[in-house]
Amino acid sequence: MRSNKKNGLAVGILFLTAMASYMLGSELIASSAGSGNQFSEINISLLRIGIVLEFVNSAAVVGIAALLYSIISDYSKGTAMAYVASRIIEAVLLLLGSVCILLMPALDGEMLPTLATPILKIRADLFQFSMISLGLGSFFLCWLLFRQRRIPILLALIGVVGYFALFVSGWLGLFGLSEYSTILFIPGAIFEIAFPIWLFIKGFPTSSPSKT
């Protein structure tokens, strides 16, 4: 079985970049703006760094979609297009969440205590909708990879289960059940670490696919 190691390496790097940049960026933003307190110069600096990192995440997400489209469209153009659409929607929603946070320093003063909570709620809802989009598109991607045996069966099944769980988690979060949804992130997180590692080692297989 031939493999595309160059694209596999690029996809793997982008997966890890997206995960690391969003985790760090959202943590910096939460520590700076989560309480809705007055912003100091240090807080604003951390806030800006966090927003830049979230922008990096969105760029990496779009890059993943573009690279995987060029590979998985050989197996199923419909799944490839759905996956790209889901990742673009994810990226846009996360960017809108970052824009919401950009408004907060401008409100520093009398308006901030009143508006901080609704702004953070909008950001949280945008995040949940982005996870719903990511979960749905990636579920079908992993199901295709499972059917086509493009990656190890166990890894593909972890992806199928993980992204379905992420899809459910997003809806739970929207209905105020975030405390029950956190554990549902775990299988998807395992896939998003294991999949890049596998790509670094094996590359992406490019042998003759069965059209679906």
Helix residue ranges, H only, 107-204: 112-148, 153-174, 178-181, 185-202
Cβ contact 155:194 at 8 Å: yes
| 86 phi/psi in degrees, rounded to 5 | -65, -40
Instruction: Please check whether residue 71 is in contact with residue 144, taking contact to mean a CB–CB distance below 8 angstroms.
Output: no
Q: pTM of the full predicted structure?
A: 0.86
**Taking a C-beta distance cutoff of 8 angstroms, is the pair 145, 152 a contact?**
no
Give the closest residue to 209 by CA, choosing from 72, 81, 83, 82: 72
What's the pLDDT tens digit per position in 92-142? Answer: 999 999 988 887 766 656 666 667 778 888 999 999 999 999 999 999 999
Over residues 136-186, the pLDDT tens digits come to: 999 999 999 999 888 999 999 999 999 999 999 999 989 888 777 778 899
User: How many Å separate Cα 11 from the centre of its chain?
Assistant: 13
